[in-house]
A and B are shown apart, each in its own frame.
Chain A
Amino acid sequence: MKNPNASLKARPTILLVESSIIEQENFAHIAMQEGWQLVICNSGIDAVHWFIKNNKADVLVIEEDSAPLNAYQTADYIKTELGLMLPVLITVGNISNQQELRAIAYAKGFIKKPFVKTDTIHQINEIRERFPQKITIANHSYSLNYLRDIFDGHEESVFESLELFSTSVNTELDQLNMELQNRDYNRIREIAHSIKPSFEMLENETGRSICHLLNSEAEETEMPNLIRDLQLEFASITKQLTRDFPELKIGG
């Protein structure tokens, strides 16, 4: 009889962010031969979303100059903003000493491109030995702890706040899209600043982090993707709230 845990252990889930089709195919070929479960993502943010949605992964392999967040920013975001210990391997062409130091500061190592079978397998296996457990995250898109604390356990006020979250953030997200069309990036930063506490009050780290990026260091070119991700996160929270509290006016 096969041990299901052994089978799980034998099939690591690898998230790959790689823009070159040829390198994607190279990696996919190695993954297929080794029996790895490969998920190809368009960006680091996409990989993070896949990870949050599917709640499992063993390692993120990401190209150094990915966009909108590069590999270092993505690794830093995963570690410091989301507080996750998902191991990150950065893929590079030529490796300088400076790059090597930088990669080590942010990630668990690097893989040289073009992908070579022996080196790639070695790096992935080494990571799996160092981090044998599949990384999972708690599947809670929100928490009522803060609201219950501030409203002193007054449930009616907590529920009114949830309805306020749904209506007010929905309106501001519409406004964000409008300002994106108008290319009014300063206004986008202001709106993100304004709605950030709403996500914080529901203890939603993804929404808080995206608002933080939009409000501070995000480049204008990164804003469309970040706004889309914020909308997805908002939809995920309101969907969960509707399930948990069908009597409330959420998402209407």
Chain B
Amino acid sequence: MKKILVIEDNPMVIKSLEFKLTKDGHEVLIAKDGREAMKFLKEANFDLILTDLMLPFVTGIELISYIKKNSPNTPIIVLSTSTQENIIMDAFNMGVDDFITKPFSPNELSLRVKRFLNKA
């Protein structure tokens, strides 16, 4: 079973991601803010990370920087909104692998997650 860390602060998005990813057979851990995410990242390794960019306490960009430094082979998918083009570009320049626009299409999420987990 692959282990996925979801870093997201909107409870409805969290619930939908948790439902879909668990149903697809993955182990899902949820961090509701950047601080909680840092704690998980220090305690465990993940096969994939899905992260929002605008997070309380520690920003998504800071998290990506930390992950790239400490776990450079872990793929990262950014959960974005349509108004974040500049921040998404910054994230890509830092080495994130993909992005999904919220609210996401269930099938698109499954396919993209599967693609990165198969590579791992």
Contacts and interface: CB of A to CB of B under 8 A. Distances in A.
Interface of A: 146-147, 149-152, 154, 157, 160-161, 164-165, 168, 190, 193-198, 200-201, 212, 215-216
B10 A200 contact: no
A151 B15 CA distance: 9
B19 A201 contact: no
Given A146-B103, A154-B19, A197 B13 contact: yes
A147 B9 CA distance: 18
Contacts, number: 53
A215 B83 CA distance: 8
Interface string B1-17: 00000000111110110
B106 interface: yes
Interface residues of B, number: 16
Interface in B1-42: 9-13, 15-16, 19-20, 23
Interface of B is mostly: helix
Contacts of A201: 12-13, 16, 103
Contacts of A149: 106
Looking at B19, B54, B83, B106, the one whose CB has the most chain A CB atoms below 10 A away is B83
Given A194-B54, A195-B10, A151 B19 contact: yes
B15 A164 contact: yes
